[in-house]
Amino acid sequence: QSVLTQPPSVSEAPRQRVTISCSGSSSNIGNNAVNWYQQLPGKAPKLLIYYDDLLPSGVSDRFSGSKSGTSASLAISGLQSEDEADYYCAAWDDRLNGWVFGGGTKLTVL
Amino acid sequence: QLQLQESGPGLVKPSETLSLTCTVSGGSISSSGYYWGWIRQPPGKGLEWIGTIYYSGSTDYNPSLKSRVTISVDTSKNQFSLKLSSVTAADTAVYYCARDPYKSSGRALDYWGQGTLVTVSS
């Protein structure tokens, strides 16, 4: 049971837009920055979005992040087959005094 | 370019202690404002934070693992290490080390090692 809640899977057609939600509480998302990670099969997680909505250098601007209250979202526009991966949200939790993650969302590009 | 590399045995027997080291290159582990963490991922499952250390030696541990975990740092070697005692099959996972910058804007695990699979089996 993950502290942050994500849908287990999402799917959409190429060139379309998809969003992945991440729900938490006041001790994590509500009070701290949300980060998003992309994990390709057999690879380490890669930072995709940090501090709610910032893109690291080299990350495509097809990816965007947003946050409202205790929930956050990752949006991917212009879907490509290479976007098929697992996506995780993460935030520091003040009650746990540590990192908490979502359970991950598997994106399938139809 | 900062790089992190995990190393250690890939097979550990039940009830024994798992020991891993993360070697940091391309940057100093003693830089102010940077924490260093361990995260694991059981096969086919999600990510679980294990713990975090600052170069001063200050640590934070996941309460669910705290009784079995020790994280330490060796600034002279630019390394930090993980020890997990009394392991069971449930500790079988890919173990990652990562950098955790602490800034006024927030925190993010930004650089990750490639991960190392540790299997607990007799």
Report pLDDT digits (tens) over B45-77.
999 999 999 999 999 999 999 999 999 999 999
The total number of residues shown for chain A amounts to 110
Dihedral sign from CA coordinates of B22, B46, A85, A24: negative
β-partners of residue A54 are A50
Of B25, B95, B100, B90, the residue nearest B59 (C-alpha): B100
Instruction: Give the residue from B35, B100, B107 with the most A CB atoms within 10 Å of its CB, the best one to mutate.
Output: B107
Nearest Cα to Cα of residue A97 among A22, A32, A37: A32
- Site from B109, B111, B114, B117 to mutate, A interface, most A CB atoms within 10 angstroms: B109
Which pLDDT does position B104 carry in this prediction? Answer: 80
Phi, psi of A89 (to 5 degrees): -100, 155
pLDDT tens per residue across span B9-47:
999 999 999 999 999 999 999 999 999 999 999 999 999
List residues of chain B with CB under 8 Å from any CB of chain A. Answer: 37, 39, 46-49, 51-52, 60-63, 96, 100, 105-110, 112-115
pLDDT digits (tens, 9 = 90+) for B66-111: 999 999 999 999 999 999 999 999 999 999 999 999 888 789 999 9
